[in-house]
């Protein structure tokens, strides 16, 4: 209180003016508190919307997987038959966990018969990194097969809903088949020359 009296003397300001200033400061503080509360509520709503969006994207990814399993997978066997492969088994989502030999790999779709295996990587929009990852995956699967006396020939394919030209070229150059939509179905494009065998 003594400090306020000193300020009043030095600034030639009345107590009434100081009371008015303090009242204005208090009103401004209330307004600031209100704004902070609105921002906080808005942030909570944004966080909620982001969680909802992430959940919907997750569902979409799941639906894409379901589409592969129920629509594409049954037709892959028939489409590959047109390219000279006769696969007797087809299944989605396999996982190789050979911790002893440090071989871990996830496979989206596997087609196989007595002497051949087709490993299909499925992406909505594959990129160059996905192609490189699939090359590594094929190497791991070949190593795992060799360690378990599996002498079948392994081939690879990359399926995508949207495939840019440079990615398509990279898929083919690495000896993989390209699987992409065409009208109401899909087409399989073999690599130039002989497909790579692992």
- Which of 69, 85, 72 is CA-nearest to residue 180? 72
Q: How far apart are CA 94 and CA 120, in angstroms?
A: 11
pLDDT tens across 85-143, in order?
999 999 888 899 998 889 999 999 999 998 999 999 998 899 999 999 999 999 999 99
| pLDDT score at 83 | 92
The more confidently predicted of residues 64 and 135 is 135
Q: Evaluate whether 167 touches 127 at the Cβ level (below 8 Å).
A: yes
CA distances from 167 to 4, 126, 127, 159 (A): 75, 7, 6, 11
Asked which of 37-46, 83-92, 175-184 is least confident by mean pLDDT, the reply is: 37-46
For the chain, give the mean pLDDT.
84
Say if residue 35's pLDDT is above 90: no
pTM: 0.67
Give the pLDDT mean for 178-197. 89
Token couple for 95: 């996982």
Confidence at residue 149, expressed as pLDDT on a 0 to 100 scale: 95
CATH fold of the domain at 74-189:
Restriction Endonuclease (3.40.91)
- What is residue 64's predicted lDDT score, i.e. its pLDDT? 55
- Confidence check: pLDDT of 8 > 70: no
Output the pLDDT for position 30.
84
Between these two residues, 61 and 84, which has the higher pLDDT value? Answer: 84
Does the structure show a pLDDT above 80 at 69?
no
- For residue 81, pLDDT over 60 is answered with yes
The rounded percent of the chain whose pLDDT value lies above 90 is 46
* pLDDT at residue 25, as a whole number: 79
Torsion sign over Cα 10, 16, 18, 21: negative
Q: Which helix (H) or strand (E) holds 12?
A: none
User: Could you tell me if 142 and 101 are in contact, meaning their C-beta atoms sit under 8 angstroms apart?
Assistant: no
């Amino acid at each position: 209180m003594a400090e306020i009296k000193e300020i009043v003397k030095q600034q030639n300001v009345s107590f009434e003016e100081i009371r008015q200033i303090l009242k204005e400061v208090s009103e401004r503080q209330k307004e600031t508190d209100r704004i902070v509360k609105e921002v906080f509520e808005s942030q909570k709503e944004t966080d909620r919307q982001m969680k909802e969006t992430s959940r919907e994207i997750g569902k979409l990814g799941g639906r894409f997987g379901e589409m592969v399993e129920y629509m594409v997978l049954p037709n892959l066997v028939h489409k590959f038959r047109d390219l000279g492969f006769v696969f007797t088994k087809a299944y989605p989502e396999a996982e190789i966990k050979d911790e002893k030999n440090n071989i871990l790999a996830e496979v989206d779709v596997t087609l196989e018969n007595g002497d051949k295996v087709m490993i299909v990587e499925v992406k909505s929009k594959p990129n160059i990194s996905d192609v490189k990852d699939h090359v590594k995956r094929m190497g791991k699967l070949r190593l795992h097969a060799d360690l378990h006396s599996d002498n079948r020939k392994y081939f690879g394919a990359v399926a995508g809903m949207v495939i840019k030209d440079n990615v398509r070229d990279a898929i083919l150059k690495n000896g993989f088949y390209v699987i992409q939509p065409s009208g109401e179905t899909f087409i399989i494009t073999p690599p130039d020359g002989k497909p790579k065998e692992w």
